Amino acid sequence: MLDANRLFPAESSARKVAVKLYETVRDLPIISPHGHTDPSWFAENKPFPNPAALLIQPDHYIFRMLYSQSVSLESLGVPQVDGKQQADPREVWQIFAKHYYLFRGTPTRLWLDFTLENQFGLKDRLTEANANEYYDVIAKKLETPEFLPRALFEEFKIEVLATTDAAFDDLSWHKKIRESGWKGRVVPTFRPDAVVDAEFIGFKENIQKLGEVAGEDVSTFKGYLNALRKRRAFFKEMGATATDHGHLTAMTADLPAGEAAKLYERIYSGKTNPGDVELFQAQMLTEMAGMSVEDGLTMQLHPGSVRNHNKLVYEKFGRDKGADIPSPTEYVRALRPLLDKYGNAPGFTFILFTLDETVFSRELAPLAGHYPCLRLGPPWWFHDSPEGMMRFRETATETAGFYNTVGFNDDTRAFLSIPSRHDVARRIDSAFLARLVTEHRLDEDEAFELIQDLTVGLVKKAYKL
């Protein structure tokens, strides 16, 4: 299935340079600083249950495409809010194979073909006819010690893997990993959305949990901020190097202390005025930036997704089920209050992501090309594709250069897709640099230095790894 020169330039001289560049980074360790893999996998180190549970049911890239073609999530065994998950895994796999053609031309197809060939030795295209054979081969391998989570972690040459964890999480799985003596580096990431977004399901209960685990009275703004600081310190003790914030907009605010406290009182009591929910999130981004200046945790912002767009799917299956849709996002004016206060602070690193590609050349690259704290995150989610990666390099590099970016991260819940996603990124970066070399815009020795930086150097620096 896989051609050795996939994703490299069609033009022969550029392709030769790309091949040489890629060969120098193909086998480098994987740095995965932002993902959604489950730390319990590595704490318990139990076999993955079956091919469907491993490759299909945790991966919204897969089941959202199938759902768009009227394949029900029930038939795929996607877990439901009420706990139901009754689909037979072999039947789920058969449905997946029958509809494999839907992924033609998508990055998901690249990732899946890579996984099937490199992890399982399956080199023919998956079809309805060979689905049972493929299922048996994968299921049998999942029973072997080589396919336990820790063994795969090591086989994939993962140097560090960051999970994403709620602010009130006790990080018990991370503790268990540490206490096991295993040398794999799995670190948490502080994600406070559930206690910052007043529209988040269970928001008031989440605030109470935050206060309980931090030992603070969160009925006051001071106590709430103290609780967040304590949790950040705990995450840092457990190995965290970053925070992550998923907001609908990039809006920030810098209210006087008294106004911010009154705003929190309204949020906490549920007696809000129009606009309070968004204003509170905006204020909290600036508060979190200040805390990052204090404690050194790298700050990430992932805005621009209208979450849970399909009400029916959300009510039956919950969050993160493929119904999140990109929305236009403004950054220049939105970020100004935060940047006025902390944009020039020494040691502060603030990584900006977007689902709105139109802003790379117009807003994000000029911002990152000026403010010392700002860095551009790689193409994310819907743009985590060969075309998206190439558009990013083309639109961001001319103003921000390479060194105001942070390499690649895979942002995945599907563990086995990690090597394939990093492989795609390494190939696209090699292709882009090769084009600059053959157009005499970059010396070849600089390209060889750059490909190392884009693969490991920049991500380690930005995430303090």
Please write the tens of the pLDDT for every residue from 442-464: 999 999 999 999 999 999 999 99
How many residues does this entry show for the chain?
A: 465
| CATH number reported for the structural domain that contains residue 70 in this entry | 1.10.2020.10
C-alpha–C-alpha distance, residues 235 and 251, integer Å? 26
- Asked whether 242 and 299 are in contact (CB, 8 A), the reply is yes
Range of the domain at 97: 48-146
A 10 A CB-CB count for 250 gives 27
Q: What is the pLDDT of residue 387?
A: 97
Q: How would DSSP label each residue in 266-307?
A: HHHHT-PPTTHHHHHHHHHHHHHHHHHHHH--EEEE---EET
* 75 assigned to some structural domain: yes
- Asked whether 194 and 57 are in contact (CB, 8 A), the reply is no
Q: What is the pLDDT of residue 296?
A: 98
- Asked whether 157 and 32 are in contact (CB, 8 A), the reply is no
Bridge partners for 326 per DSSP: 305
* 308 assigned to some structural domain: no
Assigned token pair, 317? 């299956």
- Asked whether 111 and 424 are in contact (CB, 8 A), the reply is yes
φ, ψ dihedrals at 435, nearest 5°: -65, -40
What's the DSSP call for residue 405? B
Residue ranges in the chain whose pLDDT is less than 70: none
What's the DSSP call for residue 404? T
HEC readout, 338-364 = HHHHHCCCCCCCEEECCCCCCHHHHHH
* 19 assigned to some structural domain: no
H or E stretch at 165: strand 165-166
Sign, Cα dihedral of 258, 260, 262, 265: negative
> DSSP 3-state assignment of 250?
coil
Bridge partners for 261 per DSSP: none
A 10 A CB-CB count for 311 gives 9
Q: What is the pLDDT of residue 344?
A: 98
* HSE, side-chain direction, 13 A CA sphere, residue 105: 1
CB-based contacts of 52: which residues, under 8 Å, 6+ apart? Answer: 76, 77, 87, 89, 90, 92, 93, 96
CA dist 90 → 95, 114, 136 (Å): 9, 21, 9
C-alpha–C-alpha distance, residues 179 and 156, integer Å? 23
* 329 assigned to some structural domain: no
Assigned token pair, 10? 């069609």
Q: Is beta strand 165-166 parallel, antiparallel or unpaired with respect to 350-352? A: unpaired
What pTM does this model have?
0.96
C-alpha–C-alpha distance, residues 54 and 67, integer Å? 18
User: How many domains is the chain partitioned into structurally?
Assistant: 1
CA 441 to the chain's CA centroid? 32
pLDDT in tens, 75-87: 999 999 988 777 9
* 199 assigned to some structural domain: no
Query: In the structure, how many helices (H) and strands (E) does the chain have?
Result: 21, 11
* 169 assigned to some structural domain: no
Q: What is the pLDDT of residue 83?
A: 83
Q: What is the pLDDT of residue 17?
A: 98
* 398 assigned to some structural domain: no
Assigned token pair, 233? 């310190």
C-alpha–C-alpha distance, residues 152 and 90, integer Å? 23
Q: How would DSSP label each residue in 76-123?
A: TT---TTS-----HHHHHHHHHHTGGGGTTSHHHHHHHHHHHHHH---
pLDDT in tens, 112-152: 999 999 999 999 999 999 999 999 999 999 999 999 999 99
* 412 assigned to some structural domain: no
